[in-house]
Amino acid sequence: MIGFLFVLVGAAIGAPARYLIDRSIQARHQTLMPWGTMTVNIVGTTVLGLLAGLDATHDVPHNLLLGLGIGICGALTTFSTYVYESVRLYETGARTQAVLNMVVSLAAGLGAVTIGYSVGTAL
């Protein structure tokens, strides 16, 4: 039950952070590319990689992993919005941006989690 509370509190932090970061970034870029969603996804995958790396080499408390990993990172990142925005770009004729969004987001996410994990294991 206590693990659930850590996830709940983390999600209560991650979801509003996702919204505020996304809106803040999108307001500064008058472009079709969904830079806000890409940013939160890259930040979240970096943090999750870091947590996984720390957990692999140190004794990170399970509830902390639940709160930060599942709660904050889970609510901060968004696969569904990434896919939806890519489909919407494609449907509106912005096919190059749709493909770029999919490829860059995937590559950056994989790179971010790898870097985060490497840093976490090195600490």
Rounded to 5 degrees, φ, ψ at 60 are: -80, 130
Q: Whose CA is closest to 2, among 93, 66, 98?
A: 66
Q: Where are the alpha helices (DSSP H) in the chain?
A: 2-28, 35-57, 62-65, 74-76, 79-91, 95-122
Q: Within 13 Å, how many C-alpha atoms sit on residue 69's CB side?
A: 19
Q: Is 120 annotated as a binding residue?
A: no
Tokens representing 61?
């408390």
Q: Is 74 annotated as a binding residue?
A: yes
- Binding-site residues for Na(+): 74, 77
- Binding-site residues: 74, 77
